[in-house]
Amino acid sequence: MLDSEEAPESFAGSIDRLHDLVAEQVGTTDFGGDDYLPGLRVLLQSMDYDPHFTPWGRSYAWGTVVGALRSRAYAFKSMAENPAYAGVSIESPVVITGIPRTGTTALHKLMAVDERFQGLETWLLDAPMPRPPAERWADYPQFHRTVAKLEQRYNAAPDKRAAHLMVAEEVDECCLILWQSFVSNLWTCGWSAATYDAWWQCQSEAPGYAHLRRCLQLIGMNETGKRWLLKNPGHIDNLDLLFAVFPDAKVIQTHRDPAKAIPSLCSLLMKLHPKVEDASRYDQRAKIMLAREVAKWSNAVRKAEPVRAMHRARVLDVVHGDFHRDPMGILEEIYSFISMDLSENVRARMAQRIEDKPEMGHGVHRYDITDFGLTEAEVRDRFGDYMQRFDLIEHRAGAAA
């Protein structure tokens, strides 16, 4: 198992060992200042206290922390080796956000076929560096490490491929840079982390967003003529920080009935639970998770409203159902919003991806809200008038995606 053969008996007592291990792997002791240390310490303490790890889960969790700190170290090593990154400008990035499972990934990967965009490929999130030419990626051990990590994850939980497929060479989410600052919602997703979650809810992610900007400057420094296409559901909870670091960003906010989207999210997050934690606690954690995610994302959309109002011309709303009914029509609207032309060549490539449905190539992700302890009406009620404003109620039997 990658990075996980020597999981310590005490996580909190192994912070020096963690830094030494990463320093040896990356060849640097530069972790970019100390802003990440409070979150890392709380996370390690939480890992000793909150989860009921299996032996496999204990190793998996340790490997995950090692990997995130290693990614941070790679970033700062690359910055030191490429100081010109600091002068790279980032102009009017296109940012896709919204409650998770509202079509952000499908839209992101569809727009990424337009070669005028650049994005955050998964392997470069694991090892930030100036993006090499694509034909050379297979020459990099960091690329192969990401391939192996993803294969390990899907071997442990094959259903995750259908729920959310990650590929080393395809674009992925900003959260995999943001979590390198160890102040991130992502650290509450892989295993029980109530004490970390309580701490995280009171923190600012401003240092993480500053780190994100630096990493974009670094990764894109060889392709400064390409516009950034970014995606991260968590940005909806931090629109103020997003506009602070990218004041001319164009934001596409996706919307879907949260009574469909959030149980789908919980189902995805629970895929690894029987391997990571005591399986007898599955039902208990599933119910806690849905209640927590409903509270988190309903608060996020409310928090976003005053920021949206301040930047009204820079936010475009896309409803999940409209995108599925008429994807090319929505893309026309998006390209008008971002002031780009939709050429016949790009249109044809997008149409082909829509027809191929690559996200469906590993089956259909199915889930049932009744497994998580709330009704659809109870979930919708937490979102107040959000449902009505975007006409989001879906009336159909069963659920998928």
Confidence (pLDDT) at 78: 98
Residue 181 forms part of a structural domain: yes
Containing structural domain, residue 380: 12-389
Residue 89 forms part of a structural domain: yes
Residue 397 binned pLDDT confidence (cut-offs 50, 70, 90): very low
Nearest to 364 by CA among 331, 390, 393, 399: 399
Higher pLDDT, 175 or 356: 175
Confidence (pLDDT) at 169: 80
Residue 399 forms part of a structural domain: no
Tens of pLDDT, residue by residue over 17-56, are 999 999 999 999 999 999 999 999 999 999 999 999 999 9
Confidence (pLDDT) at 368: 77
Residue 212 forms part of a structural domain: yes
Nearest to 238 by CA among 296, 191, 192: 296
Within 8 A by CB and 6+ apart from 356, the residues are none
Residue 126 forms part of a structural domain: yes
Residue 165 binned pLDDT confidence (cut-offs 50, 70, 90): low
Q: How many domains is the chain partitioned into structurally?
A: 1
Tens of pLDDT, residue by residue over 316-335, are 999 999 999 999 999 999 99
Tens of pLDDT, residue by residue over 229-259, are 999 999 999 999 999 999 999 999 999 999 9
Mean pLDDT of 304-314: 97
Is-contact 362 242, C-beta < 8 A?
no
Tens of pLDDT, residue by residue over 169-194, are 889 999 999 999 999 999 999 999 99
Residue 389 binned pLDDT confidence (cut-offs 50, 70, 90): very high
Confidence (pLDDT) at 154: 67
Residue 219 forms part of a structural domain: yes
Helices of type H across 311-399: 320-325, 327-337, 344-356, 376-382, 386-389
Tokens of 183: 């102040």
Give this prediction's pTM: 0.92
Residue 296 forms part of a structural domain: yes
Confidence (pLDDT) at 5: 54
Nearest to 179 by CA among 101, 67, 84, 329: 67
Is-contact 158 186, C-beta < 8 A?
no
Confidence (pLDDT) at 187: 97
Helix (H, G, I), strand (E, B) or coil at 28: coil
Residue 96 forms part of a structural domain: yes
| Phi, then psi, of 317 in degrees rounded to 5 | -95, 135
CATH of the domain at 306: 3.40.50.300
